[in-house]
C-alpha cells in the first residue's frame, strides 16, 4: 500500500531506472511494464522484487511496513 503507483510504460519508454515487470499478458493490447523506480542493481522496483525473488522453502512476512524485506536486502548487499 505504500508503493508509488505503477506508471504502465510501453517498451520504448523503459530505461535503466524503470521497473521491467510486465503487467497483464504480453499478447493483450493493454500490456505494459510497471515503470516504478528500481532498486539499485536490479531491474525491478521493491514491490516486484518481492514477487520475483521468493526464497526457496521459506515464507517471509510480506505484511511488514519495511519497504524491502530482509531476504531482498541480503540479495542487494551480496550483488
Q: Report the length, in residues, of the chain.
A: 79
Phi, psi values for residue 77, rounded to 5°: -65, -35
Place of cell 518481492: 50
> What gap in Å lies between CA 28 and CA 73, rounded to an integer?
34
Provide the whole-model pTM: 0.65
Residue 79 corresponds to which cell in the numbers above?
550483488
Place of cell 531476504: 71
Helix, strand, coil percent values for the chain (each to nearest 5)? 25, 10, 65
Which pLDDT tens digit goes with each residue over 55-75?
776 655 555 555 566 666 666
Which pLDDT tens digit goes with each residue over 5-31?
899 999 999 999 999 999 988 889 899
Amino acid at each position: 500500500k505504500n508503493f508509488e503507483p505503477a506508471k504502465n510504460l510501453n517498451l520504448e519508454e523503459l530505461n535503466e531506472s524503470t521497473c521491467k515487470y510486465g503487467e497483464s499478458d504480453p499478447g493483450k493490447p493493454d500490456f505494459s511494464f510497471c515503470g516504478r523506480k528500481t532498486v539499485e542493481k536490479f531491474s525491478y522496483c521493491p514491490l516486484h522484487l518481492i514477487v520475483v525473488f521468493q526464497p526457496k522453502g521459506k515464507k517471509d512476512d510480506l505484511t511488514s511496513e519495511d519497504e524491502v524485506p530482509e531476504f531482498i536486502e541480503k540479495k542487494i548487499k551480496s550483488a
